[in-house]
Amino acid sequence: MTPIRIGHLYGNLLNTYGDNGNLLMLQYGLKKRGLDFTVEVNSLEESFKANQYDLIFFGGGQDFEQKVVSDHIQTKKDELEKYIESNGVLLAICGGYQLLGEYYLSAKGDRIEGTHLLNLYTLNQVNSRFVGDVEIFSDEFNETYYGYENHNGRTFIKDPVKPLGRVIKGYGNNNEDKTEGARYKNVFCSYFHGPLLVRNPHLVDRIIDKVLEQRNQSTEQGTKLKQIIDPTSV
């Protein structure tokens, strides 16, 4: 098997709260399975194609850096949409989560445009943040996840986007609807820092399983296409 290609989207700009630990956990999980991988930062200087990566990590940062990314990511939007809609696996934390949506309001109330790739939006709070330990339950996977949140944003998700989990303890997306994070196709989003995957190694396995499923499906589709073009080739 060729190495699994991991892309760290704007990794030189969005890397606060130690969330790069999620990348380390993904690498650890891949090594445990004996799987080779490559990791590269895809930022302001790099182009982006939908078939470039098998797994993308999109972290969070301060408002200034997120505004820079908000402006630039529009140049990658079309290919990123192709990646998501073709079931590419993506993990987004905090600011990356917000930027996949329609827009978010900064702490100062400025509107920062997202990519409009997920059906969600984020409002701000005045002189307040959601901070503390969180526990959620995923009905999709029948699993409990633990984390730590520290965010000003109040995110509201809409169909077809579903929550990553139901809030058992803590604030979650907005402290109103008892949701935390978001799930759409093979996209996983969360406000969990800590980092998320360090405290939830079972979620590491789920994400890697999704990557391998996609790799297998792509191989099968490629084989079928090759047979159609040249029936004698297989």
pLDDT digits (tens, 9 = 90+) for 52-110: 999 999 999 888 899 999 999 999 999 999 999 999 999 999 999 999 999 999 888 89
Q: Annotated binding site, which residues? A: 129
Confidence check: pLDDT of 51 > 90: yes
Closest Cα to residue 100, out of 153, 167, 46? 153
Look at residue 229 in the predicted model and tell me its pLDDT. 55
Q: Annotated binding site for substrate, which residues? A: 129
- Considering the domain delimited by 4-229, tell me its CATH architecture: 3-Layer(aba) Sandwich (3.40)
What number is the average pLDDT over the span 210-227? 69
Q: Which residue has the tokens 């360090």?
A: 198
Look at residue 226 in the predicted model and tell me its pLDDT. 46
pTM over 0.85: yes
Look at residue 62 in the predicted model and tell me its pLDDT. 85
Active site (catalytic) residues: 94, 193
